[in-house]
Structure 1
Amino acid sequence: MSPLARPPRRVLILAAAPAQLLDIAGPAEILTQANRLGGGGLYHLACHIVPEPGSPATTAGLALGSTIEVSDLEAWPTLDTLIVAGGEGARRRCGEPVVRDLTRRLASRARRVVGVCTGAFILASAGCLDGRRVTTHWRWGEALASAHPGITVDPEPIFVHDDGVWTSAGITAGLDLTLALVEADHGHALALAVARELVMFLRRPGGQKQFSPHLAAQTSLSTRLADLVPWMSENLHRPLRVETLAARVGLSPRQFARAFRAETGTTPARLLERLRVEAARRMLEAEGSSLAAVAALCGFGADETMRRAFLRQVGVPPGDYRNRFRAERRLSQPESQRAFIERSLHA
């Protein structure tokens, strides 16, 4: 049976009110666009929100209703994917029998289980994460680990896949996770088409840290130095010597180097390398850029300099990194579906 002839994958988004709105709307929109761009019939999507008297359905205060009731839901013959949304309700109500037991029953029938943001608290209370490596919003990782010592909580990745169980970091990371689900189900090209349609800057890989080099540096730096990081990112093609950076913030090179290291624990040169590698990764994940062009545009100067930086930061040479994405794009798809996606990408 060809992929297009298969019945739609039944996907349920489950939430406990008040839920994080984007934890529901984000995955729902990704899957809806996958249906549209993939020719239709890929996913059958439903949502069930466990209400709480006196509380709004979402933390944004916006009304949002279930599209399916529990009685109808449990009559579904199959459940491919259970996505559990996060939010205040997930953290506060995860131990309520009505939330915990429903999650446990549904998870036992699902091919894969997904926790978006603090939806991991519900899955953990239902026993779905025991012995797993998971992630969640950086602010709540320690609380999740403390409440469930049988779970390995990794606070750094934006999403983690552990043998049929997927968990994501906070809020917008649920978009990246859901794109990864689409890619696993229907290939890289469709996931890329969906990301393009939603004007997403980049489909981030799961191993990427919750804090990018830009954000991590700006979080730890004083206002004067933090303003320097976006400027560095916009001028990676330039040499950006310490003297240039110091003059930009009105310090002597020695004062600048000392202040930068004191505030970040690293040197300007090391941060600059991380920024350049991140920019190069984005270019290599797209098609059409040669290694020499990427090295020049990102300020490495020579291919070998970029190669050494990639080995330090990513663990593989840039050529191997690019080839991985090229190979993923060649994953087999029905000809009609591939043509549909190609038209969408070049529209």
Structure 2
Amino acid sequence: MRNRSHEERPRIGVLLFDGVKMLDFVGPAEVFLEAGQRSGGYEIVMISPDGREVTSSMGVRVGVQASAADAGRLDTLIVPGTEAPLSVFADARVVEAIRMLDGRSRRTAAICTGAFGVAAAGLLDGRRATTHWKFTDELAAAHPSITVEAEAIFTIDGRISTSAGVAAGIDLALALVEDDHGPEIARSVAQLLLVYMKRSGNQSQFSASLRGRPLRTSLVKRITEVIDADPARPHTAAALAAEVNVSVRHLTRVMRDELQTTPREYVTSMRLDLAVSYLDSGSSVTEAAQRAGFGSPIAFRRAFGSRFTLTPSEYQRRFQSTRRHSAR
């Protein structure tokens, strides 16, 4: 966490361009604005490559305060996204503006498909990054030197950070505020903005039921419906196989082919999603484990740590915004 006096106002530069997605920059900007009322303050500067107003993807015209050349030094550069990343960030003026502003910034954060712009400027070479799940394959194909973490909500690799879409940009902004001013300020901002959770960057963009390809067989569709309806039930592989009148071996093979997972792993993933919702709503670790169908708190902690790389108690301490819980 950096120490700053009240007089020092870090400048947050938001680079806008034609086709920019409004939620990608309004959300993070509001986080910094609210944080500024609880700390030494931030100055938010809207910038475009040439200093002219831009037209957003909604057709709304947005004014700016400076061109990239005249923006001066920044503490943080925010590069929002667009629905047409490969065409927008093929514009040499936009890419040069990113490169120029990054050279005058302490850190740079790309929101959603803004990662394509930061990548086009050469700032993600050899780094970890993410973007909206719709575009992760495109990002990896267009920039093979980047380690694309397709399921991450956000990544921070040195001075460059990236996030998935819309709400994840708020999560990333809160993480940057926490780095600047500590967790109490970040939690208070999240609470004021009615953001229920400040999620960790390594939390998945997907719940278990949204992973994988569209289901091809009625067998897997039926099994996932049974599990999704009540993950806490004692779903053994044998019981699930009997549900669709096949062998355990056959069911396991079909689920691996379609979902890249086993019946047991799928059940565990669904129980984790359910348990996280209980943690979010105030249950203790023991209560969440029991209600989600885990055999013991130890089994829950082991599964939770495997997915999130932190314990359930740490999750509640670090990322709960609206309540303070005592996790047991």
In the superposition, the TM-score normalised over structure 1's length comes to 0.75
Contact kept, 8 Å, 2:8 with 2:40, in 1: the verdict is yes
The residue identity in structure 2 corresponding to 1:97 is A
Q: 1:209 to 1:307 in 2, by over 3 A?
A: closer
Query: In terms of mean alpha carbon deviation, does 129-138 or 2-11 score higher?
Result: 2-11
1:309 pairs with 293, 299, 303, which one? 303
1:15-73: CA deviation from partner (whole Å, max 9, x where unpaired): 2211122212221232233335x2x65222122345899x9712223x131331217x7
With over 3 angstroms needed to count, the CA separation of the structure-2 counterparts of 1:8 and 1:283, relative to structure 1, is farther
| CA RMSD of superposed structures (Å) | 3.8
Distance, in Å, in 2 between the alignment partners of 1:151 and 1:292 is 40
Distance 2:22 2:45 in 1: 15
- Maintained 8 Å contact 2:9/2:40: yes
C-alpha distance in structure 2 between counterparts of 1:228 and 1:50, whole Å: 52
Q: Does 1:74 align with 2:70?
A: yes
> What does residue 57 of structure 2 align with?
59
1:280 aligned to which of 264, 275, 294: 275
Q: Which one is further off, 181-190 or 86-95?
A: 86-95
Greater mean deviation of Cα atoms: 129-138 or 107-116: 129-138
Following TM superposition, by how much is the alpha carbon of 1:162 offset from its aligned partner in structure 2, in angstroms? 0.9
Q: CA deviation at 1:202?
A: 3.0
- Name the amino acid aligned to 2:210: L
The equivalent residue for 2:107 is 112
Q: TM-score, normalised by structure 2?
A: 0.79
Other-structure match for 1:292: 286
SS in 1 for 2:106: strand
Structure 2 counterpart SS, 1:111? strand
Distance in 2 (CA, whole Å) between partners of 1:111 and 1:172 is: 24
Q: Partners of 1:163 and 1:231 in 2: how far apart?
A: 44
Residue 313 of structure 2 corresponds to 322
Q: Distance in 1 between matches of 2:224 and 2:42?
A: 41
Q: Percent identity?
A: 34
Contact 2:223 2:244 in 1 (8 A): no
Quick one: structure 1 residues 65 and 158, their matched pair in 2 at CA, closer, same or farther if it must change by over 3 Å? same
Residue identity opposite 2:91 in structure 1:
E
- Structure 2: distance between partners of 1:226 and 1:97: 47
Partners of 1:188 and 1:230 lie apart in 2 by: 39
Structure 1 gap ranges (5+): 330-340
Could you tell me which runs of 5 or more consecutive residues in structure 2 were left unpaired when the two chains were aligned.
Answer: none
